[in-house]
A = this chain, B = another copy of it.
C-alpha cells in the first residue's frame, strides 16, 4: 500500500478484515506500506498491521512479496505509480479519482489493458459501489424494477469548508488534487450515476464556484494565507445515453451536511432514493402497485440475500462506512483469484475522468452544453 492517511487506514481495515468475514480463495497478507517520512510510515505499519515499511514507493513495487499494489496517495501521483506497478506485473487498486487529467487516465487505462492480457487485475476505488444499499439499488435497476429511467438526481454534500479559516491543505491546491469538490465528491456521484444506470453520461452543462478564495496556510507563520486554486462547489446537469436527465451537485460548503451522498432515481416503473448518512437504508417506490397502498418503502438493506450481507450480522444490525473497503478487498481478491477483470475498471475510471473534464470545460465556457466522448 502506498500512502497511509485517511484512505490508508480505511484500506488497511478492509484488507485485515475481508478474509475473516468472507470465505475467499485468497487471503491477503499485508506485506508492506510505503510513505516518504520514515518514522511516520513505520508507525503506520505498526498501527495498521503491515509487515514492513518502505520510504520509496518504487521499492515497494519492486518487492517480490508484493503481488498487489494499493495506491492511496493524492491524485497527482496515481498515474506514475499505477503504470509502474502494472508494468512490474502487479495487480493494482487505485484510489479515485483515477487521475488528475484525462491524459493520465488514458495512460493508466492502457497500462491496465496491457496488464489484463497478462492476467493482472486493476480496479479503481469507487468504494461507494460496495455500500450494500447501492449494490442492491443496482440490482433492482438491472432487473428492470424502475423501467426506463427519466431522472437521476445526485448530490454529495459536505461542510468542512464552511469555516473560512479551515487551512489550505493539499485538497485545496490544483497541482495536487486536480480539482476540488468536483474530483473529490463529484467523481463519486458521476461514477454512481453511470454504474447505477448502466450507461454513460453523454454531455454536461456546469457551473463552478470558489466561495472562499484565500485560506490560512496549513503550517508555518501564522496569519499567512494562500490562494485556493480549486472549486468549492460544482453544479452540473446532463443527459445519459438513454435520454434520462441528470443533475449533480458536489460541495464542501453545505452547512450541517456531513457526508450526504444522496441519490434519487425516477423511472417509468419505480423510483429509488438513498442517503449515505443513512447507509443501511434504501427507499424504493414500486409504481406498478395500486396507488392507495404504494409509497416509498424504507428497506433495511441488512437481509442475508442483500449484497455482501450473508457474511455479516443478523437483519437490522447495520454496517458502517468502512465496510465498503472490506467489500472492495473481497471483490478484488475474487477477481484476482479468478483471473477475471474487476469493476470498476480503469476504463470506468477513465470515463468518469472524461465527464469531469467536460464539466470543467463547460464551467469555463459559460455553462454551454459539452459532450462527453463515449467509447463505441
Contacts and interface: CB of A to CB of B under 8 A. Distances in A.
Interface in A22-61: 47-49
Contact of A368 (B157, B298, B368): B368
Given A150-B211, A256-B271, A367-B369, A295 B285 contact: no
A20 B136 CA distance: 30
A160 B48 CA distance: 38
Contact of A253 (B16, B140, B151): B151
A96 to B, nearest CB: 15
A144 to B, nearest CB: 13
A69 to B, nearest CB: 21
A299 B289 CA distance: 12
Contacts of A291: 303, 305, 315
A346 to B, nearest CB: 26
Nearest to A136: B292
Contact of A207 (B17, B140, B245, B319): B245
A118 B276 CA distance: 48
Contacts of A269: 255
A239 interface: yes
Interface string A212-254: 0000000000000000000001011111000101010101011
A277 interface: yes
Contacts of A253: 150-151, 266
A237 B207 contact: yes
Contact of A20 (B48, B151, B211, B276): B48
Nearest to A147: B255
Contacts of A255: 150, 266-271, 285, 287
A169 interface: no
Interface of A: 6, 10, 12-13, 16-17, 20-21, 47-49, 136, 140, 150-151, 153, 155, 157-160, 162, 205-207, 209, 211, 233, 235-239, 243, 245, 247, 249, 251, 253-260, 264, 266-271, 276-281, 284-285, 287, 291-300, 302-303, 305-306, 313-323, 366-369
